[in-house]
């Protein structure tokens, strides 16, 4: 712990460029707001820069874990009314932009994307300063990331970054450890996890791809999902949320990070990713032309489960 705090973290080379581009975009009137990260009292957090004079508040370091694409949700009226957005994105975030494009929630001209070359992020944003990444503090999803230099961007900043370290356990190893358990044990695990859910819907609100005008969880006639946080209602909510993100989830980890009771949602998300990869040979990318299985019909789709 002590040496991770005292070690100097090299300043990310792209920050000066980021501030300059933000200033230029705002000055030229190409965008009305830059959404990026700033350093605040409790650590890194999203910031909305509308005045070029404030561009120096922008930062980028390993604490910038937030997927800011959630602010592109067309139903965020208070963000949309600020005007055209310039958005700072990591690779995983760019995949979420591609998701919105794929699903016609957005057109490419609606947003200027400022990509940052990424070397992985920390598990937490609320730290006084960025710590060097190591197996004990790296966000597990960063291991093996295939999109650290996003292509779907208008600007790509910084220098190529080293690969993120391998975490103490990878998400795949955790999923495998769960899969290796007998059914009753897995059932006990998930009932305990989902039993804690308080149905705040933070996981849904923060997800860049949860964009439904009216969530199925809010329908009362008929009521598909029981609204109270009892174990039965929680199970149907959590499974529905995960299934609705199957093949769409970009593994940004925001749902898990926001869950106030710490339910390991990334394990369900990853399991579904694995199933989608196996059945449809599909991995989510930042290419919006690459249709997701949920929006794509193929004659050779496996359907042996239809009896």
Partner 1 sequence: MTSADPTRGTYFITEDDLRALTGELLGAGTEVIAPVALDVCASPSAIASSACLRPGVKPIDIEYRALESAAQLNLGSGLPVLSLKQYFLPEYEALCCWRQHGTEIEIEAVPTEFAPRVVLAAKPCDSAALAVVDKVMNWDYADELWNGRREATTIVNLACPVVDESCFCTAVGTAPDDAKGADALLTPVEGGFLMEATTDKGRALVEAHAARFTAEEGAGGAGARGRQAAEERAAARARAAANLEIDAASVRDWIDTHFEDPLLAALGVRCNGCGACSSVCPTCHCFDIVDEEEGIGKGTRRRCWDTCQAPTFTLHASGHNPRDSQNPRYRQRINHKFAIYPLKFGEVLCTGCGRCTRVCHAGQDLVEILQAIDIAARRREAVSP
Binding site for ligand SF4 (CB under 6 A): 90-92, 118, 120-121, 139, 141-142, 145, 147-148, 164, 197-203, 206-209, 238, 245, 249-255, 258-261, 263, 269
User: Among 108, 129, 230, 302, which residue interacts with partner 1 (rule: CB under 8 A)?
Assistant: 230
Could you tell which of ligand SF4, partner 1, none binds residue 165, using a CB distance below 5 to 8 A set by kind?
A: none
Closer Cβ to partner 1, 118 or 122, answer by number: 122
Closer Cβ to partner 1, 45 or 244, answer by number: 45
Q: Any contact of residue 125 with partner 1 (CB under 8 A)?
A: yes
What would the 3-class secondary structure string for the chain be?
CHHHHHCCCCCCCCHHHHHHHHHHHHHCCCCCEEEEEEEECCEEEEEEECCHHHHHHCECCCCCCCCHHHHHCCCCHHHHCCCCEEEEECHHHHHHHHHHHHCCCCCHHHEEEEEECCCCCECCCCCCCCCCCCCCCECHHHCCCCCCCCCCCCEEECCCCCCCCCCCCCHHHHHHHHHCCCHHHHHHHHHHHHHCCCCCCHHHHHCCCCCCCCCHHHCCCCCCCCCCCCHHHHHHHHHHHHHHCCCCCCCCCHHHHHCCCCCCHHHHHHHHHHHHHHHHCCCCCCCCCCCCHHHCCCCCCCCCCCC
Q: Binding pattern to partner 1, positions 5-44, x when CB under 8 A?
A: -----------------------------------xxxxx
Q: How far is the CB of 28 from ligand SF4 (least distance, A)?
A: 28
Could you tell which of ligand SF4, partner 1, none binds residue 6, using a CB distance below 5 to 8 A set by kind?
A: none
> Is residue 303 classed exposed, middle or buried when 0-12, 13-18 and 19+ CB atoms within 10 A define those classes?
exposed
Q: How far is the CB of 82 from ligand SF4 (least distance, A)?
A: 17
Can you say whether the dihedral through the CA atoms of 84, 88, 91, 93 is positive or negative?
negative
Could you tell which of ligand SF4, partner 1, none binds residue 142, using a CB distance below 5 to 8 A set by kind?
A: ligand SF4
> Is residue 140 classed exposed, middle or buried when 0-12, 13-18 and 19+ CB atoms within 10 A define those classes?
buried
Q: How far is the CB of 48 from ligand SF4 (least distance, A)?
A: 14
Q: Any contact of residue 70 with partner 1 (CB under 8 A)?
A: yes
Closer Cβ to ligand SF4, 6 or 228, answer by number: 228
Rounded to whole angstroms, how far apart are CA atoms 73 and 100?
Answer: 8
Q: How far is the CB of 304 from ligand SF4 (least distance, A)?
A: 28
Q: How far is the CB of 64 from ligand SF4 (least distance, A)?
A: 8
Q: Any contact of residue 220 with partner 1 (CB under 8 A)?
A: yes
Could you tell which of ligand SF4, partner 1, none binds residue 77, using a CB distance below 5 to 8 A set by kind?
A: partner 1
Q: How far is the CB of 184 from partner 1 (least distance, A)?
A: 12
Q: Any contact of residue 288 with partner 1 (CB under 8 A)?
A: no
Strand ranges of the sheet holding 33-40, from the earlier edge strand across to the other edge = 43-49, 33-40, 85-89, 111-116, 155-157
Closer Cβ to ligand SF4, 49 or 94, answer by number: 94
Residues found near partner 1 in the complex (CB under 8 A): 1, 40-48, 66, 70, 76-79, 81-82, 123, 125-126, 136, 140, 167-169, 174, 177-178, 188-189, 192-193, 198-202, 204-206, 218, 220, 223, 226-230, 233, 254, 257-262, 264, 267
């Amino acid at each position: 712990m002590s040496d991770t705090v005292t070690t100097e973290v090299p300043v990310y080379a792209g920050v000066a460029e980021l501030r300059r581009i933000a200033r230029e975009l705002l000055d030229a009137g190409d965008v009305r707001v830059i959404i990026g990260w700033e350093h605040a009292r409790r650590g890194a957090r999203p910031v909305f820069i509308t005045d070029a004079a404030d561009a120096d508040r922008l930062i980028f370091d390993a604490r910038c874990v937030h997927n800011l694409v959630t602010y592109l949700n067309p139903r965020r009226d208070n963000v949309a009314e600020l005007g055209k957005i310039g958005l700072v994105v990591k690779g995983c975030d760019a995949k979420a932009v591609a998701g919105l494009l794929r699903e016609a929630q957005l057109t490419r001209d609606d947003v200027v994307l400022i990509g940052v070359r990424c070397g992985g992020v920390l598990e937490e944003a609320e730290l006084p300063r960025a710590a060097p990444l190591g197996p004990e503090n790296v966000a597990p999803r960063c291991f093996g990331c295939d999109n650290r230099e996003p292509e779907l961007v208008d600007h790509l900043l910084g220098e190529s970054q080293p690969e993120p370290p391998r975490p103490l356990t990878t998400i795949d190893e955790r999923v495998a450890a769960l899969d290796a358990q007998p059914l009753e044990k897995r059932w006990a695990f998930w009932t305990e996890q989902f039993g804690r859910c308080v149905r705040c819907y933070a996981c849904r609100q923060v997800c860049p791809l949860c964009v439904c005008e009216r969530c199925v969880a809010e329908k009362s006639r008929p009521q598909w999902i029981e609204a109270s946080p009892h174990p039965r209602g929680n199970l149907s909510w959590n499974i529905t949320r995960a299934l609705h993100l199957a093949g769409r989830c970009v593994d940004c980890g925001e749902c898990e990070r926001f869950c106030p009771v710490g339910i390991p949602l990334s394990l369900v998300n990853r399991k579904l990713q694995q199933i989608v990869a196996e059945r449809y040979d599909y991995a989510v990318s930042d290419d919006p032309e690459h249709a997701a299985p949920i929006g794509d019909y193929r004659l050779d789709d496996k359907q042996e489960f239809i009896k």
